[in-house]
Amino acid sequence: MAQVDAIIIGGGIVGLSTGLALLAARPGRSVVVLEKEALLAAHQTGRNSGVIHAGLYYKPGSVKARTCARGRTLMEGFCERHGVPFERCGKVIVATRADEVPRLEELERRGRANGLTGIRRIDRDELREREPHAAAVASLFVSETGIVDYREVTRAMAREFARLGGELRTSARATAIGRRGATVVVSSTAGDVEARVLVGCAGLGSDRVARMAGLEPGVAIVPFRGEYWMLSPQRAHLVKNLIYPVPDPAFPFLGVHFTRRIGGGVEAGPNAVLALAREGYARTSFVARDALEIARWPGFWRMARRHWRAGMAEQWRSLSRSAFARACAALVPELTEGDVTPGGAGVRAQAVARDGALVDDFAVVEAERMVHVVNAPSPAATASLAIGEEIAQRALRWL
C-alpha cells in the first residue's frame, strides 16, 4: 500500500488548490489527489459561468467574503503566471423595478464593506455606453469582476501540482475510508493509500465522503441544476460583458444573468432547478440513490415547504423557453424567444442543513487527521486558491 503524507479526495479546483497550498507550505512532502473521473473539471469546476467574482454579495466577515477577495487576487496572479487568459471586464447589476433599488443600494454597501473600490452607481448615459441594450431604473458597475475558463485554470493547476511533486490519480474513486493507528487509509478503484492526513474536496459527493469517513456533517448535498441558453451569434452584440439582476436575498443563487464567455459567445442563465441526479446534466437525468437520499433528508422537505413557490417558478422557466426568454427580456428587452438556443448545464452542490436552511457560507467539518469541505458553492472557483490555503493550514496540523 502506498504511504503518503496527505491524500485529497476530489480533483476539482478546490482539491487541486489545496494540493498546491500543501506543497507550497511543505515542499517535498508527498501529496496524492484522487479523482474519480478520467478527465479533470468534469463537474462543477468545468460547468460554471466562468466568472471571477468581485465579492460584493457576501456577508461582510463571512468566509465567502474573505476568501473571494483574496482568491480573486490570487486567481488573477495565477492566470498571469501560467498563461491562462482572463479579462477583468467588469459587470453591471441592473434594478429593473423601483422596489429593487433598496436592495441594489444594499449591494453597493456590502461591496464597499468587502473592500471593493471599483463599485459605483452609474447613470443612464454610462449604462448606455457600457451596456446599450440593458434596461434599468438604477444600476451599479463593478469593475473588479472578470471572466476566465476554469477548465483551463484547472489544467494549469494540475501541471503546477505535478511540477511541485504532487501525484494526481484520475479514474480513482475513493470507495472506503478507515483508520490504522495514527494514519488514515483510503481504498480506491486505483488502489489503497495510507496517509497522515485526509482532505475531502468531493464537491457533489462531499457529504458522502465525510460520512464514508465516519463523520456526521449535519448537512446533505442537494443538487441544483443550472441550465444555460446561448444567445444566437446574430444577437450576441446585445450584451457587451456581464449583465446581472438584483438577486433575491432569500436564495444563494444570483438569478438569470448574461455572461460573455472568455472563449467567445454570450450565455444566459443559469436557472436553479432541483436535480434528481447529483451529476445529472439533462432534464431527464435520474439516479434512484440520489433521488432517495434527497427524499430521506428531513432538511429537504423543510426547505421545500419554505421555497416551493420560487422552486416552481424556476421549474417552469426550465420547461418553457418563452418563460425563460421573458426573464432574459426583463434585463435586455430586445431579446425574444427566437434569440436563445439551449446551451450546457452545471449542477451546484448546495448543502442543506437538517432544519432546511440552505447553507450560505463555505463549510468544513474536521476530525482527527481529517478535514472535509462540505459546502463550496459559488464563488468557490474564484476563491479556490484562498480556500486551498485555509484548508491546507488546518491539514498541516497533522503533518
Q: Could you say whether residue 42 binds ligand FAD (CB under 6 A)?
A: yes
**Nearest position to ligand FAD, beta carbon:** 12
Closest CA to 336 of 350, 321, 346: 321
Q: Minimum distance between the CB of residue 21 and ligand FAD, rounded to whole angstroms? A: 13
Q: Could you say whether residue 200 binds ligand FAD (CB under 6 A)?
A: no
Q: Could you say whether residue 31 binds ligand FAD (CB under 6 A)?
A: no
Judged by CB under 6 A, the stretch of 158-166, 243-251, 345-353, 391-399 that binds ligand FAD is 345-353
Q: In this structure, what C-alpha cell is assigned to residue 399?
A: 503533518
Residue from 7, 14, 213, 238 in contact with ligand FAD (CB under 6 A): 14
Q: Give the number of C-alpha atoms closer than 13 A to the C-alpha of residue 279, restricted to the C-beta side.
A: 13
Q: Minimum distance between the CB of residue 99 and ligand FAD, rounded to whole angstroms? A: 27
Q: Minimum distance between the CB of residue 296 and ligand FAD, rounded to whole angstroms? A: 20
Q: Minimum distance between the CB of residue 272 and ligand FAD, rounded to whole angstroms? A: 8
Indicate the residue type of 48: N
- Of 27 and 264, CB closest to ligand FAD: 264
b/e burial code for range 359-368 (CB count within 10 A of at least 16 → b): bbbbbbbeee
- Of 67 and 183, CB closest to ligand FAD: 67
Q: In this structure, what C-alpha cell is assigned to residue 61?
A: 466577515
Closest CA to 213 of 5, 9, 3: 9
Q: Give the number of C-alpha atoms closer than 13 A to the C-alpha of residue 13, restricted to the C-beta side.
A: 30
For CA atoms 213, 214, 217, 223, the dihedral sign is positive
Q: Could you say whether residue 376 binds ligand FAD (CB under 6 A)?
A: yes
Strand residues in the chain grouped as ranges (E): 2-9, 31-34, 51-52, 86-87, 91-95, 119-122, 138-142, 146-148, 167-169, 174-180, 183-188, 191-200, 219-231, 242-245, 257-260, 266-269, 273-274, 340-353, 363-367, 370-375
Judged by CB under 6 A, the stretch of 21-29, 118-126, 310-318, 340-348 that binds ligand FAD is 340-348
- Of 48 and 318, CB closest to ligand FAD: 48
Indicate the residue type of 293: E
b/e burial code for range 374-396 (CB count within 10 A of at least 16 → b): bbbbbbbbbbbbbbbbbbbeebb
- Of 111 and 379, CB closest to ligand FAD: 379
- Of 36 and 66, CB closest to ligand FAD: 36
266 contacts 230 by C-beta, under 8 angstroms:
yes
* Beta-carbon contacts of residue 295 (< 8 Å; ≥ 6 apart): none
Q: Could you say whether residue 203 binds ligand FAD (CB under 6 A)?
A: yes
Binding mask 49-78 toward ligand FAD (x if CB under 6 A, else -) reads xxx-x-------------------------
**Residue 243 dihedral angles phi and psi, to the nearest 5°:** -125, 120
Q: How many CB atoms lie within 10 A of CB 288?
A: 9
Judged by CB under 6 A, the stretch of 22-30, 80-88, 280-288, 380-388 that binds ligand FAD is 380-388
Q: Could you say whether residue 90 binds ligand FAD (CB under 6 A)?
A: no
Q: Could you say whether residue 185 binds ligand FAD (CB under 6 A)?
A: no
Q: Could you say whether residue 325 binds ligand FAD (CB under 6 A)?
A: no
Q: In this structure, what C-alpha cell is assigned to residue 375?
A: 459546502
- Of 14 and 335, CB closest to ligand FAD: 14
Helix (H) or strand (E) holding 79: helix 63-82
Judged by CB under 6 A, the stretch of 8-16, 89-97, 99-107, 363-371 that binds ligand FAD is 8-16
Q: Minimum distance between the CB of residue 350 and ligand FAD, rounded to whole angstroms? A: 9
CA distances from 272 to 40, 280, 311, 345 (A): 24, 13, 8, 10
Q: Could you say whether residue 277 binds ligand FAD (CB under 6 A)?
A: no
Size of residue set near ligand FAD by CB under 6 A: 41
Q: Could you say whether residue 380 binds ligand FAD (CB under 6 A)?
A: yes
Judged by CB under 6 A, the stretch of 37-45, 106-114, 288-296, 298-306 that binds ligand FAD is 37-45
Which residues here bind ligand FAD, judged by CB under 6 A? 9-15, 34-37, 42-45, 47-51, 53, 173-174, 201-205, 209, 226, 270, 346-348, 376-382
